[in-house]
């Protein structure tokens, strides 16, 4: 049994979302060996709006529009204010949008008023599957999944979109991955074999998330010899997590190759 205490703080390249750590001695694991990860600690410092989700795609009447949010961390109030601002500034936008967050109900209410020339126009957000076919868009990087579902009602000619709850945490699940330690015994969320473990994120911004693999679960190794190990922190879409606000990841890698 070998124990390796690893941390992105000791990386020779990259940052907490993608890094390589050096090994003081050559690591050789025979085929049939196994490993597991415990005592993982991750700084929760993820920006709500990041490079992978900053775009908004909307329908204003028969017209497709798009807008872009500024990358950063938001609270419920500032997000509502920003949504109204960027939607009103969207290229071609003809109606007007207001957006407000209610502290009492925790709802975010977006109200669209159509232009006088087109009082029958309604307003909606494009779902991710629709955005996949948006003209000229190869990687949507949509904010729709963060906003979640909503209820649409009408008040005269105005469309009212009510979001019951918008989490200020952009991720609920993350995945620790590795190209060198990946195994065909593993199938990740997108069919990849480089996923090592799932990290359920239930701690608020600014705290530390802890995680371990389930008790008595080990991953079979297909054999390797190396002087360094690589690790990546990815979301369920396979994107590297934006850790530009800081935060590190550390964990214990236990390797059992049958030797004492």
Beta-strand ranges (E) seen in the chain are 2-7, 13-15, 18-29, 34-43, 55-60, 63-68, 96-101, 108-113, 123-125, 151-155, 158-163, 173-177, 195-200, 208-211, 219-220, 224-234, 249-256
Q: What is the CATH number of the domain that holds 250?
A: 2.60.120.1100
Count how many domains the chain has.
2
Domain boundary among 163, 197, 214: 163
Looking at the structure, tell me whether residues 150 and 85 fall in a common domain.
Answer: yes
Which alpha helices (DSSP H) does 175-240 contain, by range? none
Looking at the structure, tell me whether residues 177 and 154 fall in a common domain.
Answer: no
Domain boundary among 163, 184, 209: 163
Looking at the structure, tell me whether residues 62 and 159 fall in a common domain.
Answer: yes
Q: Are 63 and 92 in contact (CB under 8 A)?
A: yes
pTM of the shown model: 0.76
Distance CA 232, CA 226 (A): 17
Looking at the structure, tell me whether residues 196 and 216 fall in a common domain.
Answer: yes
pLDDT of the chain, 260 residues: tens digit per residue:
889 999 999 999 888 899 999 998 888 888 888 999 999 999 998 889 988 889 999 999 999 899 999 998 899 999 999 999 999 999 999 999 999 999 999 999 999 999 999 999 999 998 766 766 677 777 788 898 889 899 999 999 999 999 999 988 888 899 999 999 988 878 888 888 899 999 999 998 889 999 999 998 998 887 888 899 999 999 988 889 988 777 899 999 999 876 64
Domain boundary among 163, 181, 207: 163
Looking at the structure, tell me whether residues 108 and 21 fall in a common domain.
Answer: no
Looking at the structure, tell me whether residues 120 and 99 fall in a common domain.
Answer: yes
Looking at the structure, tell me whether residues 71 and 25 fall in a common domain.
Answer: no
Phi, psi of 179 (to 5 degrees): -70, -40
Looking at the structure, tell me whether residues 189 and 120 fall in a common domain.
Answer: no
Furthest-apart CA pair in the chain: how many Å? 80
Looking at the structure, tell me whether residues 60 and 146 fall in a common domain.
Answer: yes
Looking at the structure, tell me whether residues 237 and 138 fall in a common domain.
Answer: no
Q: Which domain holds residue 17?
A: 2-46+170-256
Looking at the structure, tell me whether residues 93 and 182 fall in a common domain.
Answer: no
């Amino acid at each position: 049994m070998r124990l390796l205490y690893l941390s992105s703080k000791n990386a020779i390249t990259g940052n907490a979302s993608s890094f390589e750590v050096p090994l003081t001695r050559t690591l050789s694991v025979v085929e049939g060996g196994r490993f597991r990860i415990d005592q993982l600690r991750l700084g929760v410092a993820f920006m709500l709006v990041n490079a992978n989700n900053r775009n908004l795609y909307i329908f204003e009447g028969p017209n497709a529009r798009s807008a872009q949010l500024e990358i950063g961390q938001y609270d419920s109030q500032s997000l509502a204010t920003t949504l109204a601002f960027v939607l009103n500034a969207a290229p071609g936008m003809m109606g007007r949008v207001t957006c407000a967050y209610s502290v009492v109900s925790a709802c975010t209410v977006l109200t669209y008023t159509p232009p006088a020339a087109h009082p029958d126009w309604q307003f909606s957000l494009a779902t991710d599957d629709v955005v996949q076919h948006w003209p000229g868009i190869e990687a949507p990087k949509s904010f729709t999944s963060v906003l979640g579902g909503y209820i649409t009602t009408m008040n005269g000619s105005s469309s009212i979109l009510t979001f019951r709850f918008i989490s200020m945490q952009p991720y609920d699940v993350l995945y620790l991955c590795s190209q060198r330690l990946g195994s065909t015994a593993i199938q990740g969320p997108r069919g990849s074999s480089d996923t090592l473990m799932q990290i359920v994120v239930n701690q608020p911004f600014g705290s530390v998330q802890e995680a371990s693999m389930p008790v008595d679960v080990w991953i079979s190794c297909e054999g390797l010899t190396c002087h360094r190990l690589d690790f990546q922190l990815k979301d369920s879409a396979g994107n590297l997590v934006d850790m530009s606000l800081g935060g590190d990841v550390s964990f214990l890698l236990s390797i059992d190759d049958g030797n004492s």
